Amino acid sequence: MTTTSSSRSILKRGALLAGAATLGIGLAAGLADGALKFDHPAFAQPIQLSGVQTNLPSFADMVEKVKPAVVSVRVKQKIDGAEETDGQGSLDDLPPGLRRFFEQQMPRSANPGRPQPRQGMAQGSGFFVSQDGYVVTNNHVVDKAAEVQLVTDDGKTLSAKVIGTDPRTDLALLKVNESGNYPFVQLATAKPRIGDWVLAVGNPFGLGGTVTAGIVSAQGRDIGSGPYDDFLQIDAAVNRGNSGGPTFNQKGEVVGVNTAIYSPSGGNVGIAFAVPAATVEQVVAALKKDGTVARGFIGVAIQPVTSEVADAIGLKDAHGALVASAERDGPAARAGIRRGDTIISVDGEQIKDARDLSRKIAKYAPGAKAKITIWRDGKERDLSFEVGKQPAA
């Protein structure tokens, strides 16, 4: 087949048109407002983007402000030789998949046949809550501590002592031995909303001064770690070593203390739990004053009020705590509360469920007076109640 000059000309024009069309697809959007220039033989200037704006948040200013108040916590522990461990801490008291950040690196005994005292190591995070050197961290980070050291953001190492611990909320209060003026952060007074941006700062895997960002995923989480579970759930990346570290809101206030993650592997999967600031404030105040936390006690075995139970006892909706038994000579029994009663409010505050009752009573000081409203025989009754002291065990 021969090709005439006319047909060759048509082919060339067709190729040029096809090339221009292909190039035009890429140019159409970019040249619409004259903001883009392309590095192409047809153009003299390289690609340039002008006037680009984004609405993504930057935490840089806030990080500069709060990061100096966050410390790495290093703990030497006295470990009894009979307490063998795999170096990760015991997880038996937690639901499947839930991992506390036990950072214990416990060397095996050189003579396994002879139990002997030895030292373990734990790592975590903490943060200053006062200028004179009080530091908040997790109880499990400083458990069985023989020596505590804090490493500041600028690399300075400080010795500290344990002022008090509260295993029930997994919080601990430390105090730097060396006097000085330390950078500190405030606890938030307002509860964060689901969807709010938060920032976690800590010492994951021993990498101090690490910052991660995410949002508040949920509130009021019960992870089965204790009777006062009321955790914030966040999706900021949190790993081993973040234990005891703070979670900040965008104002640079601490909204929670990181304490646990949900993970099949032990690493971050975007589900972390933090003790809310309101709980931290109460516990820290008690630890600073007395070195321990004295909680109110009611002395009942309770169970939830299901919709079926509510229908059976005549309640309009399912709320309150059903009393399965009242401890003999306990605070509830002395107030006249008995098996089959449903506790529906304390001092006028409605009780949502059994866990809510435990938390509300725990906030009262032992010996305080309260009014408890119960549902019995199809009607409400008010009882005067003296709060007892929760047993240590």
Alpha-carbon distance 172 to 166, whole Å?
6
Q: Determine which one of 243, 263, 345, 358 is catalytic.
A: 243
The whole-number pLDDT of residue 178 equals 94
Alpha-carbon distance 22 to 9, whole Å?
20
Q: Is 229 a catalytic residue?
A: no
Which among 341, 332, 331, 345 has a CA at the least distance from the CA of 373? 345
Q: Determine which one of 143, 166, 170, 356 is catalytic.
A: 170
Alpha-carbon distance 316 to 323, whole Å?
18
Q: Determine which one of 140, 217, 319, 358 is catalytic.
A: 140
The whole-number pLDDT of residue 171 equals 96
Please report the domains of the chain, with CATH numbers, ordered by start residue. Answer: 1-50 (no CATH), 60-176 (2.40.10.10), 197-275 (2.40.10.10), 296-389 (2.30.42.10)
Which among 205, 169, 199 has a CA at the least distance from the CA of 185? 199
Helix (H) or strand (E) holding 300: strand 300-304
The whole-number pLDDT of residue 51 equals 62
Instruction: Give the list of residues 6+ apart from residue 129 with CB closer than 8 angstroms, or none.
Output: 135, 136, 184, 185, 186, 187, 254, 284
Alpha-carbon distance 300 to 294, whole Å?
18
Q: Mean pLDDT for each consecutive 10-residue tract of the chain (393 residues)?
A: 40 40 42 46 55 75 96 87 38 45 40 55 94 96 94 96 94 96 96 96 91 95 81 94 95 96 83 95 94 92 92 92 94 94 95 90 92 94 93 72
Q: Is 319 a catalytic residue?
A: no
| Phi/psi at 206 (5° precision) | 80, 5
